[in-house]
Amino acid sequence: MSNPNNWNQAVIDEFRTNSGKVGGAFAGNTLLLLHTVGAKSGQERINPLACVADGERLVIFASKAGAPTNPDWYYNILAHPLVTVEFGTEQFQAHAAIAPEPERTRLYHQMVEMMPGFAGYQQKTTRVIPAITLTRMK
């Protein structure tokens, strides 16, 4: 399954089948499905992402495993910050916002505590990995 779209679809299917739980690389970690609208295409995109809770917000990171560029979904939320989130068995709309410093650093450290591999992602790249807060719409 070398195609990232196939890999993502397998994770999405497992997430939905198991009420938000998945195995493999995400086993034991908190995961969500982020629905965005493509910045260029206007089409719905769904990405499985690790997340951390910060109060009532969920936080995701545009790490792209330490790649030199941000993931496509990051640009989608810049263009369309109203997103849909699947978390566990819930689905809800949320407002996505880029966390400013020093909040971004605090949130990134929270993620590293939960998933130590995220420390390596920041070390692999010269860009600052953005933290994105997801605030549930009332």
- Average pLDDT estimate for 63-75: 95
Locate 43 and state its tokens.
């089409």
- The residue among 21 and 130 whose pLDDT is bigger is 130
pLDDT band at 94 (very low <50, low <70, confident <90, very high): very high
- Average pLDDT estimate for 69-87: 97
Total domains in the chain come to 1
User: pTM of the full predicted structure?
Assistant: 0.91
Q: What is the CATH number of the domain that holds 117?
A: 2.30.110.10
DSSP letters of 44-83? EEEEEEE-EEETTEEEEE--GGG-SS--HHHHHHHH--EE
pLDDT band at 5 (very low <50, low <70, confident <90, very high): low
Q: What is the structure's pLDDT at 128?
A: 95
- Amino acid identity, residue 27? A
Q: What is the structure's pLDDT at 33?
A: 96
34-56 pLDDT, tens digit each: 999 999 999 999 999 999 999 99
Average pLDDT, the chain: 92
With 60 as the cut, is the pLDDT of residue 1 above it? Answer: no
The domain in which residue 32 lies consists of 4-136
pLDDT band at 23 (very low <50, low <70, confident <90, very high): confident
Locate 115 and state its tokens.
């998933």
What's the half-sphere exposure (Cβ side, CA atoms, 13 Å) at 83? 31
